[in-house]
Amino acid sequence: MSSVYTLKQSPYSSHMLLLNLLDPQKHGKRLLDVGCGNGFLSQLLAAKGFSVTGIEHPLGFDQNPPAVIHDLEQPLPALPGPFDVIVIGDVLEHLRRPQDLLEQLRPHLARGGQIVASLPNSGNLYFRLQILLGNFPEDEKGLFDRTHLHFWMLANWKGLFERSGYSFEIAEVTGIPVGLAVPSLGWLEVLCYHLARGWKTLFAYQFLSVAKPKSS
- Look at 33-47, 100-114, 133-147 and tell me which has the smallest mean pLDDT: 33-47
Confidence of residue 57 (pLDDT cuts 50, 70, 90): confident
* Angle (CA) 107 113 116, round 5°: 100
pLDDT digits (tens, 9 = 90+) for 109-132: 999 999 999 999 999 999 999 999
CATH code: domain 14-211 is 3.40.50.150
Q: C-alpha distances in angstroms, 157 versus 70, 86, 92, 119, 125?
A: 24, 17, 10, 8, 18
pLDDT digits (tens, 9 = 90+) for 14-39: 889 999 999 999 999 999 999 988 88
**Element holding 88 (H helix, E strand):** strand 83-89
pTM: 0.91
Question: Where in the chain are the domains?
Answer: 14-211
Q: C-alpha distances in angstroms, 75 versus 51, 52, 104, 106, 212?
A: 23, 21, 7, 13, 21
